[in-house]
């Protein structure tokens, strides 16, 4: 299974626009994101996004994208994507990305990604 925060992070990786956006779980179990993507669980370990990219949750904790992107999780909770993007967990519900984006859970069914000023 995927959490709403995971889905939001994956949506950001698939459409890394500079604008802030939110993703919300809908009553039909799909997820609608403000960056133009929607996602639906098609198996316990696979999501399908509206841009026709499937993301599989591998047994080793990595993510495998049908468009060739690969992602590996670290023991500390960070994720490295083959696109060069990486993220580190700041807290249980907040991730900082290498492109100055912060993604976090804001409600049980809603997560957001927003740009922050460079450090």
Is the pLDDT at 24 greater than 90? The verdict is yes
* Residue extents of the structural domains in the chain: 4-113
Average pLDDT over residues 52-73: 91
State the pLDDT at residue 107. Answer: 95
Is the pLDDT at 15 greater than 70? The verdict is yes
Overall pTM > 0.75: yes
Angstrom distance (rounded) from CA 87 to CA 25: 23
Angstrom distance (rounded) from CA 99 to CA 113: 11
Say which range, 31-40, 43-52, 67-76, has the weakest mean pLDDT.
Answer: 67-76
Going by pLDDT thresholds of 50, 70 and 90, the confidence category of residue 108 is very high
Going by pLDDT thresholds of 50, 70 and 90, the confidence category of residue 96 is very high
Going by pLDDT thresholds of 50, 70 and 90, the confidence category of residue 92 is confident
CA angle centred on 15, ends 64 and 12, rounded to 5°? 70
């Amino acid at each position: 299974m995927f959490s709403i925060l995971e889905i939001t992070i994956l949506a950001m990786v698939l459409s890394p626009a500079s604008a802030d956006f939110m993703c919300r779980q809908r009553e039909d179990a799909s997820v609608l994101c403000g960056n133009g993507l929607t996602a639906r669980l098609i198996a316990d370990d696979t999501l399908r996004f509206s841009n026709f990219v499937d993301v599989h949750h591998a047994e080793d904790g990595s993510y495998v994208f049908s468009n060739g992107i690969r992602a590996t999780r670290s023991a500390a909770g960070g994720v490295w994507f083959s696109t060069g993007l990486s993220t580190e967990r700041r807290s249980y519900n907040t991730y900082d990305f290498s492109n100055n984006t912060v993604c976090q859970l804001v409600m049980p069914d809603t997560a957001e990604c927003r740009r922050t000023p460079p450090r």
